[in-house]
Structure 1
Amino acid sequence: MSGHSKWNNIKRKKEKTDGARAKIFTKIGRELAVAVKEGGSADPAANSKLKDVIAKAKANNVPNDNIERIIKKAAGEGNSNAYESITYEGYGPAGVAVIVECLTDNRNRTAGDVRHYFDKFGGNLGTTGCVSFMFNEKGVIVLEREGLDEDTVMSDALEAGASDFQADEDVFEIYTEPSDFSGVRDDLEAKGYSFVSAEVEMVPDTYTDLTDPDQILKMQKLIDALEDNDDVQQVWHNWNEPEEEDED
């Protein structure tokens, strides 16, 4: 499968975060804290958002001790951090659509940083709604294909309530409606499946190819700069990222 590859994207992110575990822990820590405050409960059974973030934390190898400590701190009176959720939209090189989801305690700092990255790497920050209409919010569950039977996985996924199933060379991709995501994930987890990733994502309707080496380099640098910023939680885009060739 050439061009867009879910597995390729996941490998790139995981390889990157292996060398920056503290940064990914910080980002997920913010999500956990916000989930506790917004959900009004530190009990995952009574706070579905918190339950989702805990599952995401475990998928990213955040130790249980870290998770429990962050939840307790967020539930305590002494935690004064107040994070605001802000989403920015813009265009990368050649008009690639980009959505940047942030959690910040300083809106001005974050806005300035995000605008700087877009300007520096050949893009421009747009207005709310300028690219989000090109994406659909979906639950996306990814399983490594090795050792699994395609028909069995597809049957289990659809029985759990999945809306779509796709088989790639390396992974199975299971799609759900956002409201069904937690239930489908829990059902598959109960059947013994483990996930490469499992979260609600912004999935593009169409993808944009870049052929100019300079534009490709700038687009990659834009994504890297955004993802390296502690205030940025997620970067969604419709760039058809090229497959990385294995080095001999």
Structure 2
Amino acid sequence: MSGHSKWSTIRHKKGAADAKRGKIFTKLIKEIMVAARMGGADPGANPRLRAAVLAAKAENMPKENIERAIKKGSGEMEGVNYEEINYEGYGPAGVAILLEILTDNRNRAASEVRHIFSRNGGNMGEAGCVAWMFDKKGTIVFNKENVSEEELMEVALEAGAEDVRDAESQFEVVTSLEDFNAVKEAFDEKGMTYELAEITMVPQTTVPISDEKTAMQILKLMDALEDNDDVQHAYANFDIPDEILNAIA
């Protein structure tokens, strides 16, 4: 499976521990604030805000926290003004890494991200060096044990999905941004349980990783990047087989 969904699934599984540290809530609040600032305080008329609110609810964020973040973003309450930046670079084995940053201090963010890359066998690149390798898509990931391939294909394609990919122990449904909610709702209506549903950056090509040491280095780098407060999302194009992941889990 490619890095965007593989890493997302790993991150999702460790999310409970992150939530206890406040990491997830902090990042979700920042996204809600920026979405409200850019597109207005009404989730019904602001797709980015609607997606951010849904993500916050999925992590059981209290309603008052969500409403306060919207008010801060829209200017009804005083709040921090976050800047959006993309940073790009390479990890071990030449893996391409794309970072979405929300920060109140560009210089601090750049310095810290560069340090994380250098400490973990990677290097930060110039703007545009890897962004062209990724496309923004919706992805919905199912464990093969929880779904029938035939039903999955039928529901996905009828709802407007672009592709259904066989990824070892999982199926990965890929959608356009416009069709993501419709496809997700189609699965919800059928009671089909998925492991992950998110808007993400899907790599056009992947780098196969065949040894445990390199895999561990890549995951350590990704974990360090995700753990940084200014990094909202970290995307990569590695392809680590399940047997290697299971061996180092």
- TM-score normalised to structure 1 length: 0.85
Partner residue in 2 for 1:227: 226
Partner residue in 2 for 1:68: 67
Identical columns (%) = 45
Q: 1:152 & 1:210 partners in 2: Cα distance?
A: 32
Cα deviation 1:19-57 (Å, max 9, x = unaligned): 12010111111111111111112x221211111122222
- Residue identity matched to 1:39: G
**Secondary structure in 2 aligned to 1:19?**
helix
**Secondary structure in 1 aligned to 2:238?**
coil
Partner residue in 1 for 2:101: 102
Partner residue in 2 for 1:135: 134
Q: Retained in 1: the 8 A contact 2:4–2:202?
A: no
Q: Retained in 2: the 8 A contact 1:104–1:110?
A: yes
- Residue identity matched to 1:71: I
Cα deviation 1:85-129 (Å, max 9, x = unaligned): 100111112211111111111111101111111122222111111
Cα deviation 1:40-85 (Å, max 9, x = unaligned): 12x2212111111222223334344533343344345222311111
Q: Retained in 1: the 8 A contact 2:32–2:49?
A: yes
Q: Retained in 1: the 8 A contact 2:91–2:123?
A: yes
- TM-score normalised to structure 2 length: 0.85
Q: 2:18 & 2:2 partners in 1: Cα distance?
A: 25
Residue 18 (structure 1) aligned with residue 16 (structure 2): yes
Q: 1:173 & 1:214 partners in 2: Cα distance?
A: 26
Shift of 1:194: 4.6
Partner residue in 1 for 2:53: 54
User: 1:1-248, aligned counterparts within 5 Å?
Assistant: 4=2, 9-21=7-19, 22-41=22-41, 43-168=42-167, 170-211=169-210, 214-243=213-242, 244-245=245-246
- Residue identity matched to 2:24: I
Size of the alignment, in residue pairs?
A: 244
Distance change >3 Å, CA 170–CA 58, structure 1 → 2: farther
More deviation in 101-110 or 185-194?
A: 185-194
**Secondary structure in 1 aligned to 2:78?**
coil
Distance change >3 Å, CA 33–CA 9, structure 1 → 2: same
Q: Retained in 1: the 8 A contact 2:87–2:99?
A: yes
Structure 1: runs of 5 or more not aligned: none
